[in-house]
Amino acid sequence: MTTQDYERIKKQSLNMLQSMNIVLTDKEKEDFEVADFGLNNLDKTGLQLITYINTDNVCAKDLVLLPNQTCPEHKHPRRAFDDGKEETFRCRYGKVFLYVEGLESTNRAAQPPHGDEEYYTVFNEVILNPGEQYTIFPNTLHWFQASSSGAVVSEFSTRSTDEEDIFTDPRINRIPKAN
């Protein structure tokens, strides 16, 4: 991702949080993460987030998805210290189309990003509107996409080790750097 793309997406995401009256400290704004997963196509595949706390036991984040932006399919595997990250998504703004393992839903509201379909394998649809939540258990494949208005999701989980996530798409680098 270019520095210009990073700054553009970061500004857009921070503006979305500000419009929801979510106040961030200067340090949180500085630490705000823009993840393009090494695919260099933030408008299609990416995720913006701020981590408020991440201890040995708990983690709390806000995830920002721009309109129709997708967080790619992944799972949180067993780790040396537990069975994997368990996370609860609570939709705060917009609408989120979450896909998890299970029976494939018919007439899905969202589709994998065009050209990347081969890297999406789970299609059990859970639609989250503001105030609705869903818990994803460890080692469960999942992916999610914002509606055309974008979305903000609060994530509450056990300890987060994003660098250990396993993605279906082998091209993905979870912690890439802007260039």
Tell me the pLDDT tens digit for each residue of 9-22.
Answer: 999 999 999 999 99
Residues of the chain with pLDDT under 70: 175-179
Phi/psi-derived region of residue 139, left when phi > 0, alpha when psi is between -120 and 50, beta in every other case: left
- pLDDT on residue 176: 57
Predicted confidence at residue 179, as pLDDT, reads 54
- Look at residue 122 and give its three-state secondary structure: coil
Task: Kindly state whether residue 16 falls inside one of the protein's structural domains.
Answer: no
What total number of domains does the chain contain? Answer: 1
Q: Can you read off the two tokens belonging to residue 24?
A: 């961030």
Domain at 128, CATH number:
2.60.120.10
Looking at residue 2, its pLDDT comes to 85
3-state class (DSSP) for residue 51: strand
State the pTM of this model: 0.94
The verdict on residue 31 lying in a domain is: no
Per the domain annotation, does 17 fall within a domain? no
> Which residue range forms the structural domain that includes residue 62?
52-167
Domain membership flag for residue 6: no
What per-residue confidence (pLDDT) applies to 138?
96
Largest alpha-carbon pair distance within the chain?
44
What was the pLDDT predicted at 177?
A: 57
